[in-house]
Copies of this chain bind each other. A is one copy, B any other.
Amino acid sequence: MDERKKQVLHAIITDYIETAEPVGSRAVAKKSGLGVSPATIRNEMSDLEELGYIEQPHTSAGRKPSDKGYRYYVDYLMQKEQLAPFEAEFIRQSLSEHFSEMDLLMQRCCQMISRLTNYTALVALNTQQHKVIESVRLVSLNERQLLLVAVLKGGEVKNRLIRLRESVNPDQLLSLERFLRQNLTGADVGKLELTVLNELLAAFSQQQSVLRRSLELFNDFFAPHLGERFFSYGTHNMLSQPEFKDYDKLKSIIGALEEDDVLRSLLENKAADGKTSVAIGKELGEEDMQECSIVTAPYDMGNDAQGVIGLIGPTRMSYQKAVPLLEFMAQILSELHRKD
Chain A residues within CB distance 8 Å of chain B: 100-101, 104, 135, 137, 139, 141-142, 145, 147, 149, 151, 155-157, 159-161, 163, 217, 220-221, 223, 225-226, 233-236, 239-240, 245, 247, 250-252, 254-255, 258
Contacts and interface: CB of A to CB of B under 8 A. Distances in A.
Contacts of A235: 235, 254, 258
Contact of A135 (B100, B141, B163): B141
A161 B153 CA distance: 11
Nearest to A160: B157
B258 A233 contact: yes
Contact of A258 (B149, B223, B236, B245): B236
Closest 4 CB pairs of A and B: A236-B255, A239-B251, A236-B254, A157-B161
A258 B137 CA distance: 40
A323 to B, nearest CB: 24
What is the count of identical protomers in the complex? 2
Contacts of A163: 155
A100 B252 CA distance: 32
Given A101-B220, A235-B235, A254-B236, A149 B147 contact: yes
A100 B220 contact: yes
Nearest to A114: B258
Contacts of A252: 236
Contacts of A101: 220, 223, 226
Contacts of A135: 141-142
Contacts of A239: 247, 250-251, 254
A32 B225 CA distance: 53
A236 B259 CA distance: 11
Nearest to A226: B101
A229 to B, nearest CB: 9
Contacts of A156: 161
